Amino acid sequence: MFLLEQDLAELVAWRRELHRRPELSGQEKETAQAVQALLRATGADKVIAELGGHGVAGIYDGRTPGPTIMLRAELDGLPIHETSAIPHRSEVPGKAHLCGHDGHMTILAAVARDLGRTRPRCGRAVLLFQPAEENGSGAASVLADEKFQHVQPDFVFSLHNLPGLVLGEVAIAEGLVNCASRGMQIALFGRTTHASNPELGVSPQAAMVRLLNEIPALGQGGELASEFSMVTVTHARLGEPAFGISPGHAELWLTLRTLTDAKMESIRLQAENLVRRVALDERLKVEIAYRDVFAHCMNAPEAVIHLKRALDDEGIAHSARGLPLRGSEDFGLFNRQAKSAMFFVGAGVDHAGLHAPDYDFPDELIEVGSRVFIRALRNLLG
């Protein structure tokens, strides 16, 4: 037990305050300020602000040279209206912490308290509070920021809570753990006309119907093997909400999802070819754009070994059950810079799912997650 009961009570209160005031990807200014204040209060040797946007890194130096170990959490909430009746529910209409990033930040806050009291024997511990995970841009922005050159970790560890897994149990595995995904925005352009003379215009209606039927068939899910792919329609709009206009414009939003980056390139080309062929058949112009691009997430074997050792030392049950996951994570980009690994902590078998409007992070996981991280740091840095 690394934390006192008073620590846990104060951390729960801090987490719930974060929950009340969520901020979306790229807008996490006040959240970042709260994190900076907390890190400085623990006596961090250095606090780096505005890292890759509103990112914050707290650095705790050891007494002698050694490796740099970085722990990562996320700052951002979601553009979803919270429907729960909990006392600390979101006070910001249309925005909420429904993925547990408030809890992940609090776990790193718990680690910060421990590091403030007991510095590592060697090396450095870095606590990264990353912006913009939900839209896939945050990790890339952090890595591209010249201030990150002052960090240069040897290992990077992270966690995510996982509804559907027994509360407090852990899922961890080497290799692929999260799918690649990207949002595909399709815009179709024809020519509007009066609704009484649709034959005088060029309507995207037929093209929209064809795409709604044909494009999801490019990837129908199934077992998470190397050839797994899934196409999910997330938004569609045809024309304007008016009775007198035959439409001349349509939009279709899709999420392409694959287990590997290589398969993503294949399904992307198939989808683009289909869209352009349908547009040509229907005499339409087409524009294709991409947002929320996530590479697949892979755990480095050496990093997993250190996390499993920490889990065993703390007596926390773990297995590879349920991995890999269909969901995406931009954490995988850190594996290009250092040995990295993420583990998943059970939020409860019947707990509301991630991104559900009534989701709330289980406070019991603050102690579980921080114990694993603190033990991993002590094993590696002394």
What pLDDT was estimated at residue 2?
72
Amino acid at 280: L
* Buried/exposed 264-276: b ≥16 CB within 10 Å, e otherwise: beebbebbeebbe
Give the integer Cα–Cα distance in Å for 250 and 233.
14
CATH code matching the domain that covers 180-294, chosen among 3.30.70.360, 3.80.10.10, 3.40.605.10, 3.30.450.20: 3.30.70.360
**Cα diameter, the chain:** 81
Domain ranges of the chain: 5-177+297-381, 180-294
Q: How high is the pLDDT of residue 103?
A: 98
Q: CB-based contacts of 108: which residues, under 8 Å, 6+ apart?
A: 71, 72, 73, 127, 129, 373
Q: What's the pLDDT score for residue 222?
A: 84
Per CATH, the number for 5-177+297-381 is 3.40.630.10
pLDDT by residue, tens only, the chain of 382 residues: 577 889 999 999 999 999 999 999 999 999 999 999 999 999 999 999 999 999 999 999 999 999 999 999 999 999 999 999 999 999 999 999 999 999 999 999 999 999 999 999 999 999 999 999 999 999 999 999 999 999 999 999 999 999 999 999 999 999 999 999 999 999 999 999 999 999 999 999 999 999 999 999 999 788 888 889 999 999 999 999 999 999 999 999 999 999 999 999 999 999 999 999 999 999 999 999 999 999 999 999 999 999 999 999 999 999 999 999 999 999 999 999 999 999 999 999 999 999 999 999 999 999 999 999 999 999 999 9
Question: Which residues, other chains included, contact 191 with Cβ-Cβ below 8 Å and sequence gap of 6+?
Answer: 201, 202, 248
Q: What are phi and psi of 184, to 5 degrees?
A: -110, 120
Nearest to 276 by CA among 177, 149, 367, 184: 184
Note whether 93 and 163 are within 8 A (CB): no
Q: pLDDT at position 182, please? A: 98
Q: Quick one: CA dihedral 323, 326, 331, 335, positive or negative?
A: positive
Compute CA distances 81 → 328, 347, 353, whole Å. 22, 21, 15
pLDDT of the residue at 5: 87
Instruction: Classify 276 in phi/psi space as left (phi over 0), alpha (psi -120 to 50) or beta.
Output: alpha
